[in-house]
Amino acid sequence: MVADKQADTKGDPRARIVDALLALAAERRFEEISIADIAGRAEVSFADFRDAFPSKGAILAGFARRIDRAALSAGGADLDASKRDRLFDALMRRLDAMAPYREGLREIVAWLRRDPVAALAMNASLINSLRFALASAGIDCEGASGAIKLQGLALAWTRVVGVWLEDGEPDLSKTMAELDRELTRGERAVAAVEGLERFAAPFAAAAQAACAKGRRAGEAVRRRARGEDAPRPADRP
């Protein structure tokens, strides 16, 4: 299966660069992998490399998009299943897509733990990936509560991947148990956030109305100071 995948991407320099970085990460520390190493393994020129990616971090973002496409293309959501079960399946499909690169990912995860700045930068790419996972499960991820869901899921996913990297069971029973626990925790946290959001909504509306009234009063004062006529009723917002 991996050989078929590599054959399919052999003519694509971007794909070869991604494959090269993941293969090199399985052999040495991520910090020790140079652009020259990647170009040599991928058999691309520096010019083609630069056209494809500006950095190793950008290559990892390209890898994330590859995994997104594989996971999102692997199967449609079961409309009879709960949103939680759909999300569980969507995340397990991500792990299935990541399986051929497991050894390289082991080092990349270790590198991110060693480099908090890099981890913070990669968090944005992860959030984008998980946004599509949530959407594919029919879960809203817009607005303030959506941002909290996404960041909470990103933290949970990091823990799940840590278990997956060490899970030696053929059926990934430890990984699935961890994912189930994390989704349960996430459901409770989201329920609390959404409850708080509903409670605060009337106060937020009142604050917005007060701010709008203050802006109108300020504009009237400025008009009088400039000697301008007050706006006609039809001109008022």
In the structure encoding, which two tokens stand for residue 31, read together?
A: 């910090």
Mean pLDDT of 154-165: 95
In a domain, 104, yes or no: yes
| 203 vs 180, higher pLDDT | 180
The label of the residue with tokens 């399919």 reads: 8
In a domain, 94, yes or no: yes
Q: Would you give the end-to-end CA distance of the chain in angstroms? A: 63
Asked if 21 and 60 count as a contact pair (C-beta separation under 8 A), the reply is yes
Of 90, 169, 164, 167, nearest in space to 133 by CA: 90
In this predicted structure, what is the pLDDT of residue 109? 97
- CA distances 183 to 77, 84, 149, 219, Å, are 17, 7, 11, 50
In this predicted structure, what is the pLDDT of residue 141? 85
Of 178, 174, 71, 158, nearest in space to 112 by CA: 158
190: pLDDT confidence band, cut at 50, 70 and 90? low
Q: List alpha helices for 10-115, DSSP H.
A: 13-25, 35-42, 46-52, 56-73, 83-98, 102-114
Mean pLDDT of 91-99: 96
| 191 vs 17, higher pLDDT | 17
| 148 vs 3, higher pLDDT | 148
Mean pLDDT of 181-187: 88
In a domain, 86, yes or no: yes
In this predicted structure, what is the pLDDT of residue 197? 43
Cα–Cα distance, 80 to 63 (Å, whole number): 32
The label of the residue with tokens 């990541």 reads: 98
Containing structural domain, residue 143: 79-200
In a domain, 23, yes or no: no
Mean pLDDT of 120-146: 90
Alpha carbon 142 to its chain centroid, in Å, reads 14
Mean pLDDT of 151-174: 94
In this predicted structure, the answer to whether residue 232 has a pLDDT above a threshold of 60 is no
187: pLDDT confidence band, cut at 50, 70 and 90? confident
Query: What's the whole-model pTM score?
Result: 0.75
Looking at the structure of the chain, the number of domains it has is: 1
Q: In the structure, how many helices (H) and strands (E) does the chain have?
A: 10, 0
In this predicted structure, what is the pLDDT of residue 130? 94
In a domain, 17, yes or no: no
Asked if 21 and 63 count as a contact pair (C-beta separation under 8 A), the reply is yes
In a domain, 175, yes or no: yes
In this predicted structure, what is the pLDDT of residue 80? 74
In this predicted structure, what is the pLDDT of residue 213? 55
In this predicted structure, the answer to whether residue 208 has a pLDDT above a threshold of 70 is no
In a domain, 46, yes or no: no
Cα–Cα distance, 27 to 160 (Å, whole number): 23
For the chain, percent of residues with pLDDT exceeding 90: 63
In a domain, 236, yes or no: no
